[in-house]
Amino acid sequence: MDKSFVKLLLKSWATIIPVIAAVVYGSYANYQGMVSLSNGLTEISQFIDKSFDLPPLIAVQDSATTSMVVDPETLMDVSEVKLEAYDETIDLLDEIAELSPDEEVKAAVENIKSIDEDKIKPLETELLEMLFEDEGKAKELFLGDYQKAKLSLHEGFNRLTETVNVYAKTQQQQALEEKRHSLVLNSTFMMVAILFVLACLFILSSRIQKGEDELNSLLGSLNEGLFYFDSTGYIPEKRSKVLELLLPGTEKFNNLKQFFCTYLGICAEKEIDAVLGLLWAEDDGFMSSFEDSISMLPSVVVRTVDGAPRILKIRYQAIYTDQAKQEGLNSVVVGLIDATENLELEKKQKEQVLRVERIEKAASNLIGFRNFSNDAILLFKSIDQMMIDQEISPVLDRDLHTLKGNLSMYGFSTIGNKIHQMEDFPDKGKNKLCAQIWEDIKSQWKYEVTDIETVLGLRNFQGKVVTDQQKIDSLKSVMEDKPEIKELVHALERVKISEALSKYADLVGRLSRKDCYKSAEVLFDEESDEVSYDEITRIDNGLIHIIRNCFDHGIEDEISRESNNKKPTGVIRISCFRKSDGSIYLVIKDDGKGIDADKLCLVASEKGILTAEECTKMSYQDKLNLVFRDSLSSKDEASELSGRGVGMSAVKSQIESLGGSITVFSHPGQGSQFKIHVPAVEVAT
Residue 468: left if φ>0, alpha if ψ -120 to 50, beta else—which one?
beta
Query: What SS3 string covers 106-147?
Result: HHHHHHHHHHHHHHHHHHHHHHHHHHCCCHHHHHHHHHHHHH
For 317, list phi and psi in degrees, rounded to 5.
Answer: -125, 125
Which stretches does DSSP call E strand in 538-654?
569-578, 584-590
| Amino acid at residue number 528 | S
Residue 574 pLDDT exceeds 80: yes
For 604, list phi and psi in degrees, rounded to 5.
Answer: -60, -40
Q: Indicate the SS3 state at residue 92.
A: helix
State mean pLDDT over 410-418.
85
What H or E segment, with its residue span, contains residue 9? helix 3-11
Q: Which residue has the higher pLDDT, 172 or 239?
A: 239
| Amino acid at residue number 404 | K
Nearest Cα to Cα of residue 640 among 445, 422, 373, 380: 422
Helical H runs in 12-99?
13-70, 75-99
Q: Are 670 and 571 a contacting pair, CB within 8 Å? A: no
For 396, list phi and psi in degrees, rounded to 5.
Answer: -65, -40
Q: Indicate the SS3 state at residue 485.
A: helix
State mean pLDDT over 259-278.
82
- Summarize pLDDT for 288-343 with one digit per residue, the tens: 688 888 888 888 888 777 777 788 888 898 888 877 777 788 889 998 888 887 77
Residue 74: band (very low, low, confident or very high) from pLDDT cuts 50, 70, 90: confident
Q: Which of 41-45, 506-510, 577-581, 657-661 has the lowest mean pLDDT?
A: 41-45
- Summarize pLDDT for 580-623 with one digit per residue, the tens: 888 999 999 999 999 988 888 888 888 888 888 888 889 999 99
Q: Are 348 and 431 a contacting pair, CB within 8 Å? A: no
Residue 284: band (very low, low, confident or very high) from pLDDT cuts 50, 70, 90: low
Residue 683 pLDDT = 43
What sign does the CA torsion over 402, 403, 408, 413 have?
Answer: negative
Q: How far, CA to CA in Å, does 182 sit from each of 16, 40, 201, 204, 207?
A: 20, 17, 12, 10, 12
Residue 483: band (very low, low, confident or very high) from pLDDT cuts 50, 70, 90: low
Residue 461: band (very low, low, confident or very high) from pLDDT cuts 50, 70, 90: very low
CB contact burial 585-610 (16+ within 10 A = b; e otherwise): bbbbbbbbbbbbbeebbbbbbeeebb
Residue 577 pLDDT exceeds 70: yes
- Summarize pLDDT for 427-437 with one digit per residue, the tens: 777 778 888 88
What is the rounded (10 degree) CA torsion for 427, 430, 433, 437?
Answer: 90
* CA 145 and chain centroid, separation: 21
Residue 71: band (very low, low, confident or very high) from pLDDT cuts 50, 70, 90: confident
CA angle 657, 649, 522 (to 5 degrees): 95
Provide the CB-side half-sphere exposure for 329 (13 A, CA): 25
